[in-house]
Structure 1
Amino acid sequence: MGVFTYEMEVTTKIPPAKMFKAFVLDGDKLIPKTVPGAIKNVELIEGDGGPGSIKKITFGEGSQFNYVKHKVEALDKENFSYSYSVIEGDALMKSLEKITYEIKIASSPDGGSICKSNSKYFTVGDFEIKEEQIKGGKEKASGLFKAIEAYLLANPNAY
């Protein structure tokens, strides 16, 4: 088994508390609104949404994947950090044991925020992740973050 790690940083004009609430705490409801067709539904299978909870995310028809299951590893509402693992689903492509994401949203000097994420891909056997796969994942994650930012800028009273 190998572990491939990459980090990403995205900035926004939205303050950390508002971005965390929209992106993390209410993301299951907001993402389908901001990126129509990306997610068909999110089902809480186990738990209350906090650490140890398991969610099943079913993707929309245009997605290359059908579903994934996320396990919430950590949720710190006061420090705006969140960690979860993809533990099941066709996005693991039978080549990954799991993918773990750690997200931390911090204040930026201009009153907005900086979202730092760390992703770890735990591979099966000697499978290697190609640079273009990592680049594609970063682009999708950044696009999702920017879609939520655009929604919040267009709806300043939301959250």
Structure 2
Amino acid sequence: MKGQLSAETTVGVAASAVWEVYKGLELGRLVDKLLPDVLGKVEVTEGDGGIGTIVKLTFPPGTPGAGYMKEIFKRIDEEKRVKETEMIEGGFKALGFESYIIRLEIIEKGGESSIIKSSIEYEVDDKLANLASEVTTKPLETMAEAIGKYLSDQKASA
């Protein structure tokens, strides 16, 4: 069984500023700083933020499931402002998902606003189809809102 979910979060910051955070390792640093109790702790286990980088997200205590996930950066498209990561260990992979890909796209909406489009594509054996209901974009939306607010606040205090 294959599935896809996506959500769009509008933020009051130019797409170029949002992309600077999303394209590399800054996203993980800000998640650590802004959302440790919600999303957890991000560590780079391999790489410098480019394609092939592997990061580990350790979920907050009390989160059901494996307690962590590792993902690899598979695609970073500077021109289209698209980043794709694939879960390689823990998280939904530990539950039996065959693939779990997160796509983050930053879309220019106007000079001072943009849309963060967060998508998840997954594949899971039909025998585990009931687990598909656990897939949600909510953590990605929470992250987008927090990053947008942080960047807006930075811009306002500059």
Aligned to 2:107: 106
- What TM-score results when the alignment is normalised by the length of structure 1? 0.82
Matches within 5 A, 1:1-159: 2-25=1-24, 26-37=26-37, 38-45=39-46, 47-65=47-65, 66-109=67-110, 111-129=112-130, 133-134=134-135, 137-156=136-155
Q: Deviations over 1:40-59 (max 9, x none)?
A: 241223x3321222222222
Which segment drifts farther, 4-13 or 108-117? Answer: 108-117
Which segment drifts farther, 113-122 or 55-64? Answer: 55-64
Q: Deviations over 1:82-138 (max 9, x none)?
A: 00111110443423122111121111036311122331111034322567534xx22
Q: Tell whether the 8 Å contact from 1:87 to 1:97 is kept in structure 2 after alignment.
A: no
Q: Deviations over 1:40-80 (max 9, x none)?
A: 241223x3321222222222324334111101110123331
Amino acid at match of 1:28: G
Which segment drifts farther, 8-17 or 62-71? Answer: 62-71
Distance 1:95 1:33, change over 3 A: same
Tell me the matched-pair count: 155
* Consecutive unaligned residues in structure 1, runs of 5 or more: none
Deviation at 1:156, TM superposition (A): 1.7
Amino acid at match of 1:81: V
Distance 1:44 1:130, change over 3 A: closer
- What TM-score results when the alignment is normalised by the length of structure 2? 0.83
Deviation at 1:157, TM superposition (A): 7.0
* Consecutive unaligned residues in structure 2, runs of 5 or more: none
Give the RMSD, CA atoms, in angstroms. Answer: 2.5
Q: Tell whether the 8 Å contact from 1:56 to 1:68 is kept in structure 2 after alignment.
A: yes
